[in-house]
Chains A and B, each alone.
Chain A
């Protein structure tokens, strides 16, 4: 692919993704509970969005012309909070308050506590609908000239809910070119592997059937992620879905591909030891957050 990135910028993004992963692990250990796999596997995509793709101003979160980002699967909020902090929306020290009483960093995101969020989330499958509403709103106001992008980040497990497809149908009908959905295709959910719990394949065909433009990428290849968001902006007359193939728990070899890490009881002694090991592993990655698919 023809990436728009210089080597230096690419290295900076990789470094940032590593820092975000470390923050995720640190905040989860501090909180003592929470989800691990999803936040880690979405770190590369969040990094590209907040440090390259999004049109936003961290010092002016309510800037009217900003792009909108809706996190639908709110349980992966450690990656959202960590990325927001690294991007300058809040002090890094605040990450330690995750899941604690009085914290702005609620166990699942609540916009009222943290106004720089575009929405609250947790109950699965309503995020795409909200993003569709935002995209529709801009289309009413600006028609085809609407060049703001609305990003909806979805898990694969939540695609089992009918509401996702209600939203997908409407977006296809309304030809929402300003809507870009990202599916975290990590193949896991709470009860196991998605294809055992409820098969989702052929996933790209499902989206195409509702008149979406589908882009499939390696969700850990920063160049591919950058290029996918860039090419999504050139699609006309269709909403775009980027199916990002990711490795659950990416960046921590012990976690990768094991669905048990979706949510782990961090009060267990063994878990704490695993986490300590995990941090060690993370720090040795040396910023080489490259896909193993290559």
Chain B
């Protein structure tokens, strides 16, 4: 059942559940962060509307810089602005930011410990028809490996808004992972959010396994848990929106309770959120884990639903993985 303490959206399983893209939540969050703090500036590499930075740019034209198609410059200019006291948010598609400009992010932002917020939109295969060149499925791996980077992958638009506001106040580099498509709203304005704090969205009395999901695929995990419950198989679902720093205490307690895990992410299995969980648990409390994600392949064109199914990340695949791990 839904964790009532978190004031989640009780309509999340309705067919007509409200849907918004996480990039929308970022746009609204940045606008609010800009209103709260005049040091917040926005820089974008020719994708202002796509990354929803337009809301900020229209309200604060003097604090917005159009960078053109120049992502390496985007990262390093932001580092320079942060050195002068600004809190820069830099946005593009994740394939280019933090994809193309990885070394600039490592050296000029993280090595310098500058509080630049890297906003990568259009992650996962659910980008859809644009095809594999534009579907970032390696971004968690390349950001979480950099010292000092905070990595956040919000589960819905409302959480993305809260994450954006929280990111503006960390004083550290942050990578914010966003998606293109509209996805179901699972949280409410009253749902708490804290960077580094995992939350149990679905609880049960005698779980046979636990699912740890990050990003918008969390909704598929929730659907899977509900369906399994109807079949008499109890599970729990954790929303792990902060991938770094990892909520080690939360994950350890969860693993001790559920004993068996399925991790779910719209990202390469290699190096992603599941890897982060496994790296930690292997040291302190090894449990059987099944990994849902892209298995060392590139994306391609299709509808988001077709692609999620094709790459084995849909509700059915999660249910199958739960059954499998429960027997291990």
Contact = CB atoms under 8 A, between A and B. Distances in A.
B108 A136 contact: no
Nearest to B80: A133
A126 B76 contact: yes
Given A111-B112, A120-B111, A134 B80 contact: yes
Interface residues of A, number: 30
B65 interface: yes
Contacts of A137: 41, 80-81, 84-86
B111 A130 contact: no
A126 B79 CA distance: 10
A11 B77 CA distance: 38
Contact of B107 (A122, A132, A135): A122
13 contacts: A70-B80, A111-B112, A112-B111, A112-B112, A119-B79, A119-B108, A122-B107, A129-B108, A132-B73, A133-B88, A137-B86, A163-B73, A170-B68
Nearest to B66: A173
B104 interface: yes
Given A120-B107, A130-B108, A140-B41, A166 B81 contact: no
Contacts of B78: 133
A253 B81 CA distance: 41
A50 interface: no
A122 B108 CA distance: 10
A110 B108 CA distance: 10
B88 to A, nearest CB: 8
Given A123-B103, A126-B107, A138-B84, A133 B79 contact: yes
B72 interface: yes
B62 A126 contact: no
B113 interface: yes
Contacts of B104: 126, 129, 163
Nearest to A152: B80
Nearest 4 A-B pairs (CB), nearest first?
Answer: A133-B80, A129-B76, A166-B73, A130-B80
B70 interface: yes
Interface residues of B, number: 29
Contacts of A121: 107
B67 interface: yes
A169 B82 CA distance: 20
A240 interface: no
B8 interface: no
Interface of B: 41, 62-63, 65, 67-68, 70, 72-73, 75-86, 88, 103-104, 107-108, 111-113
A118 B84 CA distance: 10
A169 B68 contact: yes
Contacts of A118: 83
A188 interface: no
Contacts of A70: 80
A60 B249 CA distance: 43
Given A140-B41, A163-B73, A130 B83 contact: yes
Contacts of B63: 140
A112 B147 CA distance: 14
A131 interface: yes
Contacts of A170: 65, 67-68, 70, 73, 77
B72 A126 contact: yes
A162 interface: yes
B77 A123 contact: no
B70 A134 contact: no
A4 B41 CA distance: 40
A167 interface: yes
Contacts of A167: 73, 76-77
Contacts of A68: 83-84
Question: Taking each of A70, A137, A162, which has the highest tally of chain B beta carbons within 10 Å of its own beta carbon?
Answer: A137
B147 to A, nearest CB: 11
B80 A163 contact: no
Contact of B81 (A122, A123, A136, A174): A136
A136 B80 CA distance: 9
A111 B79 CA distance: 13
B70 A123 contact: no
A140 B63 CA distance: 7
A167 B72 CA distance: 9
B64 to A, nearest CB: 10
A135 B76 CA distance: 13
Given A166-B72, A167-B73, A169-B70, A133 B81 contact: yes
Contacts of A123: 103, 107
A133 B82 CA distance: 8
A120 B72 CA distance: 16
Nearest to B76: A129
A120 B62 CA distance: 28
A134 B63 CA distance: 13
Contact of B72 (A133, A163, A169): A163
Given A133-B84, A170-B65, 17 more contacts: A119-B108, A120-B108, A121-B107, A122-B107, A126-B72, A126-B76, A130-B79, A130-B83, A130-B108, A136-B65, A136-B77, A137-B41, A137-B86, A163-B104, A166-B72, A166-B73, A174-B65
A163 B75 CA distance: 11
B77 A133 contact: yes
A133 B85 contact: no
A130 B107 contact: no
Interface in A219-252: none
Contacts of B75: 129
